[in-house]
Structure 1
Amino acid sequence: MAEPVQQPPQPSGGKRKGKAQYVQAKRARRCDAGGPRQLEPGLQGILITCNMNERKCVEEAYSLLNEYGDDMYGPEKFTDKDQQPSGSEGEDDDVEAALKKEVGDIKASTEMRLRRFQSMESGANNVVFIRTLGIEPEKLVHHILQDMYKTKKKKTRVILRMLPISGTCKAFLEDMKKYAETFLEPWFKAPNKGTFQIVYKSRNNSHMNREEVIKELAGIVGSLNSENKVDLTNPQYTVVVEIIKAVCCLSVVKDYMLFRKYNLQEVVKSAKDPSQPHPKLGNGKEVKLESDVKLNQNDPSEGKNNQQVVPENNEEPGQTKPKPESQVVNEEGAKPELADQVMEGCKSNENDHS
C-alpha cells in the first residue's frame, strides 16, 4: 500500500501576513478618507510649475496659499483629533480589533481630513497640483498676482507659474467638447461676452491634437455668443488648457498678459513700460504692432476685418513666420473666424516651457 504523500511544512507567517493586510487596508482607507492622491477628473485646484525642486515648491505653495487664503476666507480651523494619527500599529495588537478601530476613527474624521489645500501627484515632472476645497481658485490666484504685481515683493524662489484650475475632465476630444460647452458659459454665453485667447499646453500625452482642441474650443466660444471676439494682444479672458496624461485642466483667467502669463518670477519685475503686453519684444516691430492694434481698436467701423489680421509679432523667437494667407480668415461664419485667429495667436505659446 502506497504511503500518503506528505505536504511540506508551511512557514508560520500568519501574524506577519495579518499585519501586512492591516497596513494595506489602513493606507487604502486613509486615502479614501482624505480624498484622491493624484490628479483626476472632477477636481478644482491650482497647477504650479517649478524649477527642479518639487518638495520646495510644495512648501512655498502651502505658505503662499495659506497666507492669502486666510486673508480672503479666514483662517482654517483644525481639531486635535485631526492632527493625531488614529489606530495602533503595535505588533501585539489584535489585527481585527485594530482594523475596526481604524475604520471608525477614519469615518469620524473624514471631513476634517479634507484640508483647504492638499498637494497631490500631477503626473508630470516639475509640476505640482494643489487640490482646493471651499474656495474659488481663479479669484485666489488673481488676488495673489495682483498683490505681487503692485508691491513688487518676491515671495517665492522655485515656483514659476501658478495657474488656477476651475475644472478637470478626461483628455479626449469628445469629453472636452461636452464639458467645455457648460464650463465656458459663465464667461461667454449671452448676454455675457468678451474678448479672449486660448493658451494650450500638453504634458505626457500623445493622443491629443493641439490644433483640433483649440479650434473646437474657439468654436464653442463663438457659438455661445457671436459677439465674443479674439484679442491676441490684451484679451479680457484667457482660456487656459493644460493637459497632463489623460486629464484636461481648464480655467478662464483675467489679466493674463498683464501678470506675465501668471509667472510669479516675472510679475514682480519692474517693466520699462507697463502698457506693453510683450515687454521682451524690443526690436522695433513692437512699435508697429502697438500702432496697428490701436488703429484697429479705434476704428469700429471696419467690424470683423480689423480682427482678421493677426499681428506677426505674436510668435516666439525661432518660430516659423505664418504665411500671409493664413492670417486672413473666413468671413462667412463666426466659428472658423474665431478658430483661425486663435490658432495663429496660440503659436506664440508653443515654446513656453515654464
Structure 2
Amino acid sequence: MAGNKRKGAGGQDKGGKKAKTDIHKIGKYLPGGFPIDPKMKGIMVTCARGRETQAGKEACDLLSEYAQKLYGDDFNDEPAEQDEDESIEDAIAREVAQAKKTKGGKKFLPLSTGTDCVIFIRAMQIEPAKLCHFVLSDLQKSGSKRTRYCMRFIPVDETSYANMDDIETMSERVFKPYFHADDQKPTTFKIIPKIRHNDKVERDALLKKLAGMAGQGQEHTVSMDDPEYIILAEVIKSICFMGVVRDYEKLKKYNIQSIFEAAQKTDDNNNTEAAPSAPKESAEATPKSDEKHEEATTATSEAAPEETASA
C-alpha cells in the first residue's frame, strides 16, 4: 500500500531515514528485555542520561567495597580461591553451584529498568537499607564524593508486580520490621510515591493503600515535617520497587552530590571560624595588670550604643 513504508536492511525505510528504536524495550545489562522480577532486592541508582552503564559499574564497585566493611569476612564478592587439596571435579562443582546461586558469582548485578537515568542493582545477601545508610553516612562524615556518575542510592527491600494486590502482599513483608514488630512502639512515617511508564497504578490510590498498611492496628502517625521513616514506592513499568529508609533529610534525600556539597560547605565554614583573628591574639597577650582596665574599657564601649539608642 502507498501509505506504508517498508523497512530495508540496517533498520532503514525506503526513504533512507533510520528507523526509530524504543530503547525502553532493550535489556541493556541482561538479554531478554525487562530483566527485573518480583521478590528481588537491591539498590536503585539514578544517574545522568546516557551514563547508565558507567553508573552501574561504579555503584557495584562502591557497594561491594562498603559491604565488605559492613559484613566483614561474611561478605566476599570475589570467587573463592581453589583449595590445593581440592580435586578438579570438586572445583568445577563449586563454581557451577556459585554461578547458579548468584547468576555469575556477583552479589551486585546492574539491571536495566527500561527508563533513562535509572538502573537497578540487584543485591545478594545484604540488607539494602542498612548498607545504603552505612555508605551515605560514611560519605557525609568523610566529605568525599567517591562517585562520578551515580547521583542517588535508593534502597529497595523488595519488588513486586505493579498491581494493588501484589503491592499489598509485598508491603506486609516490607513493613513488618519497621511498623509491625512484636515489640512495636508508635512511630511516624511519610510516603513518597513515584510512577513512571505505568498508567495502571494511581498515585492517590497507592498512597492510601500504603498508609493503611503501615498504620494498620498501630498508633503510628503521618508526619510531613520530621518523620522517623520514609516509605519509598517507585513504580516503573510493570514492577513496583519498595523500601523504607531513615535519616532521609539528614542524608539529603540519599543524594550523593547533595551530601558532598553540604559537607564541603560545612568544612569551609569551620575553617573560617577556626582562623585566628588579630584582636583575639592581642587580648590573650594583654598583661594581667591591665585586665581591670581592659574590662572597664570593654564595658564602656558596650554601653555606649545603648546610651545612644536611649537618647
Q: Select 1:249's aligned residue among 241, 259, 263.
A: 241
AA of the residue aligned to 1:118: L
Aligned to 1:68: 66
- 2:230, 2:244 within 8 Å by CA — same for their partners in 1? yes
Q: Are 1:179 and 2:170 matched, yes or no?
A: yes
Which residue pairs with 2:138 in the alignment?
147
Offset at residue 178 of structure 1 (A): 2.5
Alignment check: 8 A CA contact 2:108 2:121 kept? yes
Whether 1:265 and 2:257 are equivalent positions in the alignment is yes
Q: Which residue of 1 aligns with 2:211?
A: 218
Aligned match for 1:115, one of 106, 116, 127: 106
Task: Tell me by how many angstroms 1:180 deviates.
Answer: 1.4
Q: Indicate the larger mover: 173-182 or 246-255.
A: 173-182
> Of the candidates 36, 40, 43, which is equivalent to residue 37 of structure 2?
40
Q: 2:212 is matched by which residue type in structure 1?
A: G
Q: Does 1:207 align with 2:168?
A: no
Do the aligned residues in 2 keep the contact of 1:187 with 1:194 (CA within 8 Å)? no
Q: What is residue 46 of structure 2 aligned with on the other side? A: 49
Contact 1:171 1:243 in 2 (8 A): yes
Structure whose CA Rg is larger: 2
Structure 1 window deviating more from structure 2 (162-171 vs 109-118): it is 109-118
Q: Identity of paired residues, percent?
A: 33
State the alpha-carbon separation in 2 of the partners of residues 107 and 147 from structure 1. 34
1:188 — aligned with what?
Answer: 179
Structure 1 runs not aligned, ≥5 long: 1-30, 82-101, 274-354
Question: Deviations 1:270-325 (Å, cap 9, x if unpaired)?
Answer: 2779xxxxxxxxxxxxxxxxxxxxxxxxxxxxxxxxxxxxxxxxxxxxxxxxxxxx
Extract unaligned runs of 5+ from structure 2.
1-29, 83-91, 267-311
Equivalenced residue count is 219
- Which residue does 1:130 correspond to in 2? 121
TM-score, length of structure 1 as denominator length: 0.57
Q: Secondary structure at the match of 1:123?
A: strand
Q: Measured at CA, do residues 80 and 213 of structure 1 come closer, stay the same or move farther in structure 2, by a change above 3 Å?
A: same
Residues 123-166 of structure 1, C-alpha deviation per residue, up to 9 Å, x if partnerless? 21111111111111111000011111112111112211110101
Q: CA deviation at 1:107?
A: 6.2
CA–CA distance in structure 1, aligned partners of residues 98 and 105 of structure 2: 12
Aligned to 1:84: none
How high is the TM-score relative to the length of structure 2? 0.64
Contact 1:171 1:248 in 2 (8 A): yes
- RMSD of aligned residue pairs (Cα, Å): 2.8
Q: In 2, Cα distance between the equivalents of 1:200 and 1:108?
A: 36
